[in-house]
């Protein structure tokens, strides 16, 4: 990783940008094919055709379909980590940090729904090293949320709940927009899903003495 004060030559930066764009182009083409048919049934030739590139170019970036699946999974988790930081930073109230983090999770799931489905279907194709990388990324992604839950409990804003369990509950519910999209999407908008789930989850956790502080977060239940 480059230091903040590292000067990157313009031509180097341009090459890096082109490389990132090519990777995204290939992944964007591969995800719907593999999510629909499974990675084993999808050839590199079909991915190349969908991406409008040569098979040789794909192999410059990904040595195998397993590497493609891992890159998709890591990309979703990286997006979650980025949006989570943006959601937590502006807020001092840990309960509102939790609500913002949950919204960030749900937003990433909505924007990467096929990729999320692919990672659930294909995670068993990763080797042990790949699975370990994904696990570590997920733990790092959840950790800031767990810290916010800890802070809310310490301040008496939440009941004395298990912070790590609650943080993973939030992540799991966010995933349900992808996993149960067939059910939710015809019945409610994404915004309605987000408001209702936020209210439902926080209503079980916020201490009764402080419920009056969060009418905007709990209003979907009234």
**Model confidence at 221, in pLDDT bands (50, 70, 90)?**
low
Residues of the chain with pLDDT > 70, as a percent, come to 91
Q: Following CA atoms 121, 127, 128, 131 in sequence, which dihedral angle do they give, to the nearest 10 degrees?
A: -40
Residues paired with 206 in a beta bridge: 158
Top-confidence residue, 170 or 86 = 170
* Phi/psi at 7 (5° precision): -90, 125
pLDDT of 27 > 70? The answer is yes
Lowest mean pLDDT among 35-39, 54-58, 97-101, 173-177: 35-39
Mean pLDDT for all residues in the chain? 86
Closest CA to 152 of 220, 86, 84, 99: 99
Query: What integer pLDDT is reported at residue 66 of this predicted model?
Result: 83
Question: CATH 1.10.10.60 occupies which residues in the chain?
Answer: 1-63
- Residue range 1-63 forms a domain whose CATH class is mainly alpha
Q: Does domain 64-221 have CATH number 3.40.50.1980?
A: no
Using an 8 Å Cβ cutoff, are 202 and 169 in contact? Answer: no
Long-range contacts of 190-195 (CB under 8 A, 24+ apart): 190/106, 190/110, 193/106, 194/102, 194/103, 194/106, 195/219, 195/220
Query: What integer pLDDT is reported at residue 1 of this predicted model?
Result: 46
Question: CATH 1.10.357.10 occupies which residues in the chain?
Answer: 64-221
């Amino acid at each position: 990783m480059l230091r903040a004060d590292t000067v990157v030559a313009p031509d180097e930066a341009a090459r890096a940008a082109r490389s990132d764009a090519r990777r995204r182009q290939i992944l964007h083409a591969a995800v719907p094919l593999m999510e629909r048919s499974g990675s084993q049934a999808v050839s590199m030739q079909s991915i190349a055709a969908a991406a409008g590139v040569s098979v040789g170019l794909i192999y410059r970036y990904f040595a195998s379909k397993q590497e493609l699946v891992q890159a998709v999974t890591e990309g979703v988790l990286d997006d979650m980590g980025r949006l989570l930081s943006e959601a937590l930073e502006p807020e001092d109230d840990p309960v509102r940090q939790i609500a913002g983090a949950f919204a960030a999770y749900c937003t990433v799931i909505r924007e990467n729904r096929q990729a999320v489905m692919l990672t659930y279907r294909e995670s068993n194709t990763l080797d042990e090293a790949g699975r370990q990388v994904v696990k570590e990324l997920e733990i790092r992604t959840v950790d800031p949320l767990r810290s916010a839950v800890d802070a809310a409990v310490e301040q008496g804003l939440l009941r004395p709940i298990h912070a790590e369990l609650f943080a993973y509950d939030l992540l799991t519910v966010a995933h349900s927009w992808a996993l149960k999209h067939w059910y939710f999407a015809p019945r409610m908008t994404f915004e309605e899903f987000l408001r209702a789930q936020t209210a439902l989850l926080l209503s079980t956790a916020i201490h009764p003495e402080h419920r009056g502080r969060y009418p905007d977060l709990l209003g979907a239940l009234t």
